[in-house]
Amino acid sequence: MTQSSPSASRVAVWSAMAEHFLDTETRQDLPLTALRCLEAGLSPDEARQIWQHEVTPAVGFNLRSLAGEWAFWDTDWLVARIERARERWWNRSRCFARYRWPAASGEWLTIERCMQHLLTAAPATRALLAQDLACLARHCFDFHPSHLAELEPEARARISALLPEPFLHLMRPALLSRERPFAKRRLQAALEQVSP
């Protein structure tokens, strides 16, 4: 059985989701992955199906590898691997859903929450909101955060309005319990940077 070539938007979704199966810190990009899903016209339910039945079977092995891939996935390799995964009987029958990928489930829940939150914004402002959430996520996950004090006052006000909620609610599933106190302190420090 042959399938037509995947659309560019589907490949962009696959690539964005697959990044979260690399052996490196990628959680700061979870809001941007949610945005890619919405830009592709996916509902949260459709995106969940892609995460569970297309991307996870293709690259989920990397989370259990002692020497996993950490740099990037080659796009052609990724597309071929996902297309093979989509053809397998165990994936077509959805019995793969019985297997749990606990290391990635928090990331998926955060993507889903971000999608739902982005859907509450006007379509024209979703990209900016996703970028603001990603900016805060860099602080939350301590991934080379930029100083919020250096931003324009309008951007600082927008970003400050996201803290502590809804931001912490959106990111909570991706945070390990032992990380939460440190993340809150980093976010508090970020808030202090934007105080007048």
Q: What are the residue ranges spanned by the domains of the chain? A: 8-193
38-51 tens-digit pLDDT: 999 999 999 999 99
78-133 tens-digit pLDDT: 999 999 988 875 555 555 444 445 446 899 999 999 999 999 999 999 999 999 99
Query: Which backbone phi and psi does 94 adopt, to 5 degrees?
Result: 70, 15
pTM of the complete model: 0.87
Q: Please, are residues 172 and 125 in contact by the beta-carbon 8 Å criterion? A: no
The SS3 assignment for 54 reads helix
Q: Please, are residues 112 and 35 in contact by the beta-carbon 8 Å criterion? A: no
96: its two tokens: 């793969």
